[in-house]
Amino acid sequence: MTKNLEPKNLNTVNRRTQPREPSEPCEPMSHVITLIPGDGIGPEVTEAVVRIFAAANLQIEWDRQDAGVVAFKRYGQSLPVALLDSVKRNKVALKGPVTTPIAEGFTSVNVGLRKALDLYANLRPVRNLPGVQSRFENVDLVIVRENTEDLYSGLEHEIVPGIVESLKIITERASTRIARFAFEYARRYQRTRVTAIHKANIMKLSDGLFLDSTRRVSREYADIAYDERIVDAACMHLVMHPERLDVLLLPNLYGDIVSDLCAGLVGGLGVVPGANLGADAAVFEAVHGSAPDIADQNLANPTALLLSGLLMLDHIGERDASARIRAALEGVLTEGRVRTRDLGGRAHTTEFTDAICRELEKSVV
């Protein structure tokens, strides 16, 4: 079942609709959208989505922007001002993964972008896809991850050689804001339960404040059930009975880890989309990272970024195109002849993309 993403505070999309006389036939809407190809498998999967959107006759002018290593080499900045200006101007971006150097180098571009644009809510719908084999059926849960603080604040220092400290920042403001987002989302999309995930038995102050804030918000939503689970127990529950969970509300770090776990429930990182949402902008990106092990080999599965792109189309009011593309994707997956390697097939990224485009062309009038 498709639940359209339509955060009510995000309706200020830059949309260039052609002025026309009432008697003229309806012109398709045209949009200007920032495209961040990223690195690793990013350029391959973003190119796949661009081709599929063109095959669906969408009128999109892509404003391409570099990030990460590519941008650092070119402009000396991993998150260039031009990129931020582009997203602020266009309000919407589709983003491929950007590698974050491990234990050295520049700080995460992904985290930097979310902070710079105050994209406080990370939304990740996790569902079974037709034709994609997985350990579980009937999984239909939504991860709502706080995106701006927690251990992602990047506040680390060495106290003395051999001892370091990382600061976990939790604020009442950010916790309340993300809790309200989760409950509003649940209400809007007829979800029945929000489960807050925490470790407040150990981190009594930080996770305690997160829970206090979510409890307070939950009292305003008598129509939505609310419960809490400790993160370790929640992980066990997820790998035993994922179909029993609905909306999961998590601070940043647990949200990151539980997202990959949930991707594993429905077929892997190649099939789970995401959206980073704020009051003024929205950046759509897959849950997976840059997968350097398969980069530049035409092996990546573009499904996760394509599904993120469909969330984006819903967001900008292109629901018909989104539904047509989803049907084409599901048609190809269900038919099962053309699949990427991660889904047990042998097809390359471009062959899988071609198959979706062909399926779409059948439905485009």
- 291 forms part of the interface with ligand ATP (CB under 6 A): yes
Nearer to ligand ATP, 177 or 288 (CB): 288
Residues 126, 144, 300, 356: which binds ligand ATP (CB under 6 A)? 300
**Whole-angstrom distance between the N-terminal and C-terminal Cα of the chain?**
25
> Which range, of 183-191, 192-200, 222-230, 300-308, touches ligand ATP by CB under 6 A?
300-308
> Which range, of 120-128, 171-179, 224-232, 289-297, touches ligand ATP by CB under 6 A?
289-297
- 145 forms part of the interface with ligand ATP (CB under 6 A): no
Nearer to ligand ATP, 194 or 250 (CB): 250
User: Least distance from C-beta 299 to ligand ATP, angstroms?
Assistant: 7
- 294 forms part of the interface with ligand ATP (CB under 6 A): yes
- 48 forms part of the interface with ligand ATP (CB under 6 A): no
- 288 forms part of the interface with ligand ATP (CB under 6 A): yes
Nearer to ligand ATP, 285 or 318 (CB): 285
Nearer to ligand ATP, 213 or 308 (CB): 308
How many residues bind to ligand ATP according to rule CB under 6 A? 15
- 269 forms part of the interface with ligand ATP (CB under 6 A): yes
Residues 218, 301, 308, 353: which binds ligand ATP (CB under 6 A)? 301
- In sequence order, the β-bridge partners of residue 250 are 145
- 347 forms part of the interface with ligand ATP (CB under 6 A): no
| 3-class DSSP string for the chain | CCCCCCCCCCCCCCEECCCCCCCCCCCCCEEEEEEECCCCCHHHHHHHHHHHHHHCCCEEEEEECCCCHHHHHHHCCCCCHHHHHHHHHHCEEEECCCCCCCCCCCCCHHHHHHHHCCCCEEEEEEECCCCCCCCCCCCEEEEEEECCCEHHHCCEEEEECCEEEECCECCHHHHHHHHHHHHHHHHHCCCCEEEEEECCCCCCCHHHHHHHHHHHHHCCCCCCEEEEEEHHHHHHHHHHCHHHCCEEEECHHHHHHHHHHHHHHCCCHHHCCCEEECCCCEEEECCCCCCHHHCCCCCCCCHHHHHHHHHHHHHCCCHHHHHHHHHHHHHHHHHCCCCEHHHCCCECHHHHHHHHHHHHHHHCC
- 342 forms part of the interface with ligand ATP (CB under 6 A): yes
CA distance 353 to 351: 5
When CB distances to ligand ATP are compared, the closest residue is 289
Helix (H, G, I), strand (E, B) or coil at 155: coil
> Which range, of 79-87, 233-241, 286-294, 355-363, touches ligand ATP by CB under 6 A?
286-294
User: Least distance from C-beta 53 to ligand ATP, angstroms?
Assistant: 18
- 270 forms part of the interface with ligand ATP (CB under 6 A): yes
Binding mask 49-88 for ligand ATP (x = CB under 6 A): ----------------------------------------
Nearer to ligand ATP, 107 or 171 (CB): 107
Closest CA to 249 of 218, 278, 280: 218
Which residues form the interface with ligand ATP (CB under 6 A)? 41, 100, 260, 269-270, 288-291, 293-294, 300-301, 304, 342
